[in-house]
C-alpha cells in the first residue's frame, strides 16, 4: 500500500476489483463499487501544483477509509479519482453509504498550501445487480467513469448510479425474433402487387429504365429542300412554341431552324407550300418514347422558315402515361 496516502495503488485496487467481481458472479453475493472524483482537482493542480494535489488526494482517501467498513477497500485510480470496492454491500445500502462518503468530504475544508479550501467529491456507484453477465472490471470502470463525468458536469458534490438502485429492475419482455429477410421480401411483393392494382403505369417503370436514362437528342426529320440558316424565328413564334412546351410540361433540349428558299417573283408565290411540315409532323408534333418534337413554320422574305424544338418528357410524367402505351413502346414487344 502507499503509506503516505494510506490507500491501495492502482494495480492492487484493480486486482481486488477483478477478484470481487468474479466472486460475486460465482457465488451470487452482493457487491458495491464506487468511483469518487475530486470536483476541484484540476483547479488545485493548476494553481498549487502536483504535490498539493497528492496531499489533497491523500486526505480525501483518509476520510473515506475512516467512514468505510474494515473490509472495504479504497484505492488510487488516478491523480483525481479514488476507487472503492465494498464486498457484501447490498443494493439498499450502497446509496446511503455513497451519500455518507460525499458528506464526509464536504463537511470540512482541506488545507491546500496553508489555506483551508472547500473540497467536494462526486461519486458514481454500481452494484452487482446493475451489471450484466460477463462484464469485467474494464466494463464496470468505463460505466462508472461515464456516470462520474455526468455528475461533475451537473455541478459536482453529488451521487449518481450506473443503474436504478432504489427501484426494482424492469422486466424485459422477450419478443419473438423477426425474420427480417422474409419481412423485406413480403413488403416487396406487396408493393409490386399494389403498383399493378393502383398504378399500373408505374408497374411498367422497370421496363422503361432504358428510356428514362436516355437523354440524347432525337434527330428531327426536315424537308429535303430545307437548308441550314442563320435567320431566327420571330418572337411571336418562339412564344407560341414555349406555350405549347409549358402546357405539356416538356423540357427543352435544343432548337433547329432551317429555311426553304424560293425564287423571287410570282413563281415563288405559286411554289410556296403553306404547310411544309404537315406531312412530317401531323398536328405539329412527333413523340417517340420520351422524345417530343414540336414543329412550326412561318413565311419570311425569300422563303419559308421551319423551326423544330427538341424536347424531353420528364421521367415521372413519362411513367404516368397510359399503361397500354407503355407496353406498346417496349422494343421486344414490337
Statement: residue 64 has pLDDT above 90? yes
Statement: residue 212 has pLDDT above 80? no
With bands split at pLDDT 50, 70 and 90, how would you rate the model's confidence at 169?
very low
Domain boundaries, the chain: 10-161, 198-328
With bands split at pLDDT 50, 70 and 90, how would you rate the model's confidence at 185?
confident
Percent of all residues in the chain with a pLDDT value above 90, rounded to a whole number = 37
With bands split at pLDDT 50, 70 and 90, how would you rate the model's confidence at 201?
low
pLDDT (tens digit per residue) in 232-258: 899 999 999 999 999 988 999 899 999
Q: Which of 251, 333, 329, 265 is nearest to 303 (CA)?
A: 265
What pLDDT score was predicted for residue 171?
41
Helix (H) or strand (E) holding 186, with range, is helix 180-198
Buried b (16+ CB within 10 A) or exposed e, 223-247: beebeebeeebeeeeeebbeebbee
Q: What is the pTM of this model?
A: 0.48
Residue 8, phi then psi, degrees to nearest 5: -70, 145
Higher pLDDT, 315 or 212: 315
Higher pLDDT, 132 or 147: 147
Helix, strand, coil shares of the chain, percent, nearest 5, are 45, 25, 35
Residues 6 or more apart in contact with residue 169 via CB below 8 angstroms: 129, 163
Give me 156's grid cell: 459536482
With bands split at pLDDT 50, 70 and 90, how would you rate the model's confidence at 331?
very low
Give me 278's grid cell: 404537315
Percent of all residues in the chain with a pLDDT value above 70, rounded to a whole number = 82
> If you average pLDDT over every residue of the chain, what do you get?
82
Burial (CB < 10 A; 0-12, 13-18, 19+), residue 135, is middle
Give me 265's grid cell: 417573283
Higher pLDDT, 127 or 177: 127
* CA dihedral (45, 47, 49, 52) positive or negative: negative
Mean pLDDT throughout 21-38? 91
Query: On the CB side of 145, how many CA atoms lie within 13 Å of its CA?
Result: 10
Statement: residue 322 has pLDDT above 90? no
Query: On the CB side of 181, how many CA atoms lie within 13 Å of its CA?
Result: 0
The answer regarding whether domain 10-161 maps to CATH 3.30.70.270 reads yes
Beta-strand relationship, 226-228 and 291-300:
unpaired
What pLDDT score was predicted for residue 243?
92
With bands split at pLDDT 50, 70 and 90, how would you rate the model's confidence at 319?
confident
The string of DSSP letters for 28-92 reads ---EEEEEEEETTHHHHHHHH-HHHHHHHHHHHHHHHHHHS-TT-EEEE-SSSEEEEEEET--HH
Higher pLDDT, 317 or 98: 98
Query: On the CB side of 58, how many CA atoms lie within 13 Å of its CA?
Result: 14
Alpha-carbon distance of 16 to 140, in angstroms, equals 13
3-state secondary structure at position 330? coil
Amino acid at each position: 500500500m502507499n503509506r503516505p496516502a494510506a490507500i491501495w495503488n492502482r494495480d492492487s485496487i484493480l486486482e481486488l476489483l477483478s477478484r470481487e467481481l468474479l466472486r460475486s458472479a460465482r457465488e451470487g453475493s452482493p457487491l458495491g463499487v464506487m468511483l469518487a472524483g475530486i470536483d476541484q482537482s484540476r483547479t488545485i493542480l493548476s494553481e498549487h501544483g502536483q504535490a498539493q494535489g497528492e496531499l489533497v488526494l491523500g486526505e480525501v482517501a483518509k476520510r473515506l477509509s475512516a467512514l468505510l467498513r474494515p473490509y472495504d477497500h479504497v484505492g488510487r485510480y488516478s491523480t483525481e479519482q479514488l476507487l472503492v470496492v465494498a464486498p457484501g454491500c447490498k443494493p439498499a445500502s450502497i446509496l446511503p453509504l455513497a451519500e455518507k462518503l460525499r458528506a464526509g468530504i464536504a463537511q470540512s475544508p482541506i488545507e491546500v498550501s496553508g489555506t483551508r479550501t472547500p473540497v467536494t467529491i462526486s461519486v458514481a456507484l454500481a452494484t452487482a445487480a446493475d451489471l450484466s453477465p460477463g462484464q469485467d472490471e474494464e466494463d464496470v470502470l468505463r460505466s462508472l467513469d461515464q456516470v462520474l463525468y455526468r455528475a461533475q458536469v451537473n455541478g459536482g458534490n453529488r451521487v449518481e448510479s450506473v443503474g436504478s438502485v432504489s427501484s426494482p429492475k424492469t422486466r424485459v419482455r422477450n419478443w419473438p425474433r423477426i425474420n427480417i429477410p422474409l419481412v423485406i421480401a413480403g413488403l416487396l411483393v406487396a408493393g409490386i402487387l399494389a403498383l399493378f392494382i393502383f398504378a399500373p403505369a408505374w408497374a411498367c417503370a422497370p421496363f422503361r429504365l432504358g428510356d428514362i436514362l436516355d437523354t440524347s437528342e432525337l434527330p428531327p426529320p426536315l424537308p429535303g429542300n430545307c437548308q441550314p440558316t442563320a435567320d431566327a424565328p420571330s418572337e411571336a413564334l418562339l412564344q407560341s412554341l414555349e406555350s405549347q412546351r409549358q402546357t405539356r410540361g416538356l423540357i427543352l433540349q435544343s432548337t433547329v431552324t432551317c429555311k426553304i428558299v424560293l425564287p423571287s417573283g410570282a413563281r415563288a408565290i405559286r411554289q410556296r407550300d403553306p404547310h411544309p411540315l404537315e406531312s412530317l409532323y401531323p398536328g405539329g408534333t412527333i413523340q417517340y418514347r420520351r422524345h417530343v418534337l414540336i414543329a412550326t413554320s412561318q413565311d419570311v422574305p425569300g422563303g419559308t422558315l421551319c423551326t423544330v424544338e427538341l424536347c424531353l418528357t420528364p421521367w415521372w410524367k413519362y411513367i404516368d402515361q397510359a399503361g397500354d402505351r407503355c407496353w406498346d413502346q417496349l422494343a421486344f414487344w414490337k
